Structure 1
Amino acid sequence: MDILLIGGLWLDASTWDDVVPALEAHGHRAVPVALPGQGDGSRSATLGDQVAAVLAAVDAARGEVMVAGHSAACTLAWLAADARPERVAKVALIGGFPSGDGQTYADFFEVEDGVMPFPGWGPFEGPDSADLDEAARRDFASAAVPVPEGVAKGVVRLKDERRFGVPVLVVCPEFSPDEARAWVAAGDVPELAKAERVEYADLDSGHWPMLTRPAELAGLLAAAAKA
């Protein structure tokens, strides 16, 4: 199966470099999605541009496809299921949850000069970054791509309730499956509360397992793709 890989905020497609060969070793074709505004130098990209890039990758895939989104990009993966429910065989949500219709995509941090730069490690102290050493933190921060305001403040639009029939895997890195289930049960993730089939997988890592646990992450995605 083709597995599309969508990085979260501040990440370009190279964030999946260690996951791709691990997925291919499991017999899958891994396709990192280059998002407009996150690696191509564009500061004017919008959420719509990123959705279009993801859908183009879905349309170019061979047969049914798994779409894996990381962190904020869990919403991009869910938007793909909404727009292509007949093509998306499974959605994998890595370290995050999808926003609902009418919500802002990722307006989490201050925008400066039309972009939302990486805010430093303060907001991510604790379980999020516990498995990143000082060198890894420096490398991440130096490579972080400021996210265009049109992406961060874009409004999510969901239209097709057939998305709720697409199976979902929630990969739980810095939080546990039990915590994720509790958030869904409490109504904190309305989109998943309506999903017909949701599975949870534990992963002992921080918020960026593609960097710190690529083989383990690939194993979880590969197993879900075959399920």
Structure 2
Amino acid sequence: MESQVISKKRVANHGEVLTGNREVNAMLDLVKQETERIESRFLEPACGTGNFLAVILERKLAVVEKRYSKSQLDFERYAVLAVSSIYGVDIQKDNVEHCRQRLFGIFDLVYLRLFKHKTNDDCRAAVRFILEINIVWGDALDFKTKDEPRVPIRFSEWSPVNGSMLKRRDFMLSYLVEKQHQMLLFSDEGNVADLNEPIREYPPIHFLEIAHAQQ
């Protein structure tokens, strides 16, 4: 049987009870069409070890495989896009690390099965880089990271442009979740930023170069 409790202490301190597979699939089936749309974005504000996000990624990758497995570059492009559409926040650091590794493992298992010795380490690096940014150690109740100094959580929107290029734009989680949390913030350039607009924009870049160029 699957365990839904890591420890009694964590239940007492954080109310942490992981959602079982049956419940996860039943809930996701309520939005089944969206879970199978490659670019449809999902945010889990208390993602734990990734029970919901793992199933969402499996469903998305099944669609990518069905459509694009005959072309390695196409598979890589759309698999990266599928990964980039998944976001999570958790208050427990070990959960965040576990979730990132779990999601990467789901991607890599399919990737290896399809392309074996032809796999590209740049593609793996892109997936790891995106997961590092999209799965955040933070508190979704106060919209701040847990690592010091605690700063507002920001998430990156990854949008495909011109085929193999990706455009990254960063937004504040507080704005994405509750527009009444709007406040004056400053962009990376030191200017007052309107939260209706991205906090930071990056130039389009080839999806296989993301991990090496965007820090």
- The structure whose Rg is larger is 2
Normalising to structure 2: TM-score of the pair?
Answer: 0.26
Normalising to structure 1: TM-score of the pair?
Answer: 0.25
When you count helix as a share of all residues, which structure comes out higher?
2
